[in-house]
Each structure stands twice: as structure tokens, then as C-alpha cells.
Amino acid sequence: MSHLSLYRRFRPDTFEKIVRQEHVVRILKNQIKSDAVGHAYLFTGPRGTGKTSVARIFARAACCEHPVDGSPCGTCPSCLAIAAGSLDVTEIDAASNNGVGEMRDLREKVQYPPVTGKYKVYIIDEVHMLTDAAFNALLKTLEEPPAHALFILATTEPQKIPATILSRCMRLDFKLLPEKDLEAHLRGILRELHKEYDDEAVAAIARAGAGSDRDMLSIAEACIVYSDKLTYAAVCEVLGAADFRETARLAKFMLSGKGGEVLTAAEGILKEGKAVGVLLKDLIELLSRVTVCLLCGDAEKLLSLSRDLYDTVSALASSTSRETVLRATEILVRLENELRFSSSPRISFEAAILRIASPADDLDVSALRTRLDALERELADLKERGMSPIPTSPKAPETAEMAAPKQEIPPKSPEKAPEAPSEGDFPDEEPVFAEAYFSDGPVGAPVPGQESKAAPNREVKQEPKEEPRPAPKAEPKAEPTAEEPKTEPSKGARSAPHMNAEQAYGIFMRNVRKTLRNGVLFTMCSDLSAFYEGTTLVLETESPNVCMALNRADNRKLMESVFLQIGIEDFTVRQRGAAPKVDPVEVLKQNFQDYPIEIK
């Protein structure tokens, strides 16, 4: 006996055996009962939901001489003839017979009356695959069909059917099957096969079927062959759940920015023989599940994964953020498009996952958002654990100025410590002032105990330590921190000799974000390198556009206000490589400071 797949072996042959789709079955049965069969039907719906099965039953019922409650009787000459392969019912797979020739052939043959039954039935499966010319030929037939013609078109993609065809058909939509019904169906089949099973295994197979009876049965078939008893473990093996966990591990490294581990994990999976394209698809699907988990309250129900797979997805979701996942998804989806043109897909793939893992090297807005987001999460996490992101020093920043003793206070973080001023009137003020800034935020200085990975890894070109710096003034009041954004800058109270260019830039960036809350400015400023030229803080950019934008009066003013807060009055923005722009008027003003200069 030749092997019959489960799906074909248990294909329903009466309306009663159809799983769900009551709405469709009821309409069709009523039409048979009232002898009001139309001449063209369009069955639409996802694959494996019973379209072809219903079409065959309906064809038999329409031809049957004595239908029983709308179903074929199975005993009349017409039913017997069709069961034996009558010419009255023709099935055409449009996927392989999509040309105009087939449709012309059909048009000719449909004119001959049926041999036994009342109707000559044509079931055209995957009808959306027909060519335009074939559709036109079919349309001619549908426009003036002989009385004995019955067309049943089936498709998974109704949007590809021309409107002229649609309007001539009675459209019936098949729905995905609920898991409960799939489970019940599978249990019935397993009992009939005398196969032992775990309930959990059946549930997992039904879930994997994702609403399609045919898909579920082919998975079930593989599981049945795999082991004597249908156990959950066996089902997991067949479904590749182990694979899923490997992919989840890779995704976890990717989303948490572990570049090295990402490559190792990817290597491990690809070594097993999985194609790059398949792994990419798996990753994208996983990320979309994580997104659902992040956004939807009833994610568990929506995702319909097995318990432990859902736990894996949910753990991933709770360890990351929406921005991170969206950025990763965008990169991977773009890669999916590019991959088909890529001569070295693996390298493209590795570059993409590395890029996801290291948003710090990426300067687009989504990467910046990801980094900001990581910072905020770390802060929140610190707070949750009862740790203040501001190291609790004996002197709180607010009172530090007053309480500052007159001796040198050793800086807290040596590598980021502000240098001692070469000549300071109040050298003891310096570390306190700097402390108030650098202990606070992660942008300028790393919070102790956590890597500044998420903070901008700025490369500062020059660090002219030998530059002479003006002596700081006393009374460093008005320390603008994130908590007190409205503090008036102490205009001109002091310049910033006590911090190097990188630190000044870091604080500047933090204040743009926290005090100014100006995302656009923040983004524009995110790729500058900072160094001192004399007492002028120079900010350089590669981009002529950024340079121009930052030098616009409105932006310039904003930047000025932020720099003033930290006591920097003299700064300039210019394009890297471009000669420093010399404004003759400025030079003039500089040289004749005491005279009012008016430009006419």
C-alpha cells in the first residue's frame, strides 16, 4: 500500500467532518437544500483551512441526485461516478497550469454537458497564479457560463484576483482554525491510529500548526514517525525548539551589546548547517515576537508559543527595550532585502548583527536612541537597587562649595579627574566643582562600577594640556544639574580651565539633553570632536551640513547658553579639514576691543 499523508488520509469527505468554517458550510448547505447553487464561487483564506476539501464536497453535493441535508448522499450514480473519477469534476492547479492555453481549453470543454450529474464542476486552486491573459480567458467564460457550469476558485491571496473576476463570484472567506479545534481534530486522528500521546505534545503540535489543519497534520506526521509515543520532548525535537533557544541566545547577545559573543553564537548556529538566510528569518521572527511581548498585554495568547519558548521570548523582552528591538529589526529587515544581491551573505550578516550589538559605533538617530535608552535603563536599575547614580560622597554637591575645605581634595576618578590648574587663585575649588558634574551623569564620565560603553566613545583629537588657562574665579555658584534645569548660568563667572575639552564636551552634551531637552541639537552635536586651541574650545565635525547648522544663529545661541552654564564662553564649531574661518570683522573687533565697531 502506498503511503498516504495524514492530511490526505483524513481529508474530510462530508460537510460534517470539516473542522470549523461553519459559516461557509452553512451557506453552501442551504444553497444545495434550496437548489440555489450559483455558477461561480471564490473560496479565500489561509492555506490548510479546508478550501479544497469544502470545494470537493460542495461539487459532489451539487451533482448529487438526493443530497441529504445539503451533503452528498454517497450512493447515487452521480456520487459513485465522481468517487470513481468522473470527468464531471475537474481540478486545475493554477500554480502549474496558469497559461491562457489552459483557460481556452477549459472554455471549450465547459460547453459539453455533464456525463452523469447536473453540473460540470471546475475547481481552480491557487487561482491568483493565473496570468493576465488566462484571467481574461476565464472571465469570458464567467461572463456567459452554460447553465450546467459550476466554477469554484480557491486562493490564499484574494487581493491578486482582478475585480472583474471577483464581482462575478460569490466570495466565502475561510478562517484560521482555533487551537482547541485543531487539538480535538488531532486527538481524534491519533485515537484512530491507536497512537499514544501526551496532551502537552498534542497542544504543542496544534500551536505549531498556527491555524492550519494541513500544517498541523504534516508536523504531527513527522512527530509520529519520530517516536513510538508522542511526547512533548519528541515534539520539541521535531519542531526545532532547541534551535529556537540557540537563536534566542544569539538575539540576547545582540540586543545586550555583546559583540564577541554574538559572533560566537552565530558561528555555532551556522556551523550546524543552517543557511544564513534561514537564520536571518528566524531572528526577524523572534524579534517580532519580542516586540509583541513588549507592546501587548496579552502577548502570551497572541504568540501562542509553548510555555518554555514563551518564557524565553518574555525573558528577552524584559531585558531590552522597544527602541533596541525596533532598531535591530530594521537593520535585519534591510539586510534581508540586500542579501539576495550579496555575494558574501555571511559577511553581510555578521556585519549586521555586530552593528546591532554595538550601537555606540553607529551614529544614526536610532542608534543614539538605543544608547540613551540603555543609559536610562541602567540608571533606573541603579535606583531600583537603592544605589544613587550620584556617588554619595561625604560632601553633597549642593553644599560642597560652602563646605569645601581649603586643602586639595583628591579627585574621585583619577582617569577623568580634572587637571589641577597651573595657576589658580582658588585651586581648592576645582575638584569640588568638577565633582559635582562628573559624579552625576554617565555622558561625561562613567559611573563607577559600570562601563561607559553606552556613553559616547568620543575620540578627542588633541588634548593640549600645556595650554595656558585662565585662572578660575571663586564662587562657583549655579551648578546646573539635571535636577535644577532652570538655574541661571553665572555668565562670565569663570571660564573652564579645570576640565579638559572632552569633559567639557561631555557635560555640554548631557546638558543639551537633560536641561535643554533638545533632541535635534543633541543629534547634531553627537559626532563632534572637541579640543582646545588656546582658550577656545573647538568643536569639529566631518559634515559640512552639521557645521553650517550649528553655526546658525539660533543653534549658536542655544549652544552658547549651555556652554555658559559650565563657564565656557569661548567656543567655535568648524568643519574638520576646513581652514578655520576668519571673520575680518571679528578680527577687527578683537584688535580694537575698547572701541565700538559698527558695521554699515
Binding interface with Zn ion (CB under 5 A): 64, 72-73, 76, 79
**Which H helix or E strand runs over 530?**
strand 529-533
| DSSP-derived pairing of the beta strands 529-533 and 536-541 | antiparallel
Q: Are 41 and 170 in contact (CB under 8 A)?
A: yes
Task: Indicate the residue type of 454.
Answer: A
Minimum CB distance to Zn ion, residue 234 (Å): 43
Minimum CB distance to Zn ion, residue 68 (Å): 8
C-beta of 86 vs 156, nearer to Zn ion? 86
Q: Are 299 and 292 in contact (CB under 8 A)?
A: yes
C-beta of 85 vs 410, nearer to Zn ion? 85
Angle (CA) 91-96-101 rounded to 5° is: 80
Minimum CB distance to Zn ion, residue 146 (Å): 22
Contact residues for 87 (Cβ-Cβ < 8 A; gap 6+): 115
Q: How many CA atoms lie within 13 A of 494 on its CB side?
A: 21
Minimum CB distance to Zn ion, residue 25 (Å): 18
C-beta of 73 vs 354, nearer to Zn ion? 73
- Residue 565 is placed in which grid cell? 552654564
C-beta of 68 vs 333, nearer to Zn ion? 68
CA–CA gap between residue 451 and residue 244 (Å, rounded): 31
Minimum CB distance to Zn ion, residue 84 (Å): 13
Minimum CB distance to Zn ion, residue 114 (Å): 14
C-beta of 86 vs 312, nearer to Zn ion? 86
Minimum CB distance to Zn ion, residue 119 (Å): 13
Q: Are 63 and 56 in contact (CB under 8 A)?
A: no
Q: Are 435 and 397 in contact (CB under 8 A)?
A: yes
What DSSP letter does each residue of 189-240 carry, written as one string? HHHHTT--B-HHHHHHHHHHHTT-HHHHHHHHHHHHHH-SSB-HHHHHHHHT
C-beta of 79 vs 138, nearer to Zn ion? 79
C-beta of 32 vs 331, nearer to Zn ion? 32
Q: Which residue in 330, 287, 276, 277 sits closest to 312, CA to CA?
A: 287
Minimum CB distance to Zn ion, residue 333 (Å): 53
Q: How many CA atoms lie within 13 A of 334 on its CB side?
A: 12
Minimum CB distance to Zn ion, residue 37 (Å): 14
C-beta of 33 vs 195, nearer to Zn ion? 33
Q: What is the dihedral of CA 172, 173, 176, 178, to 10 degrees?
A: -60
C-beta of 62 vs 400, nearer to Zn ion? 62
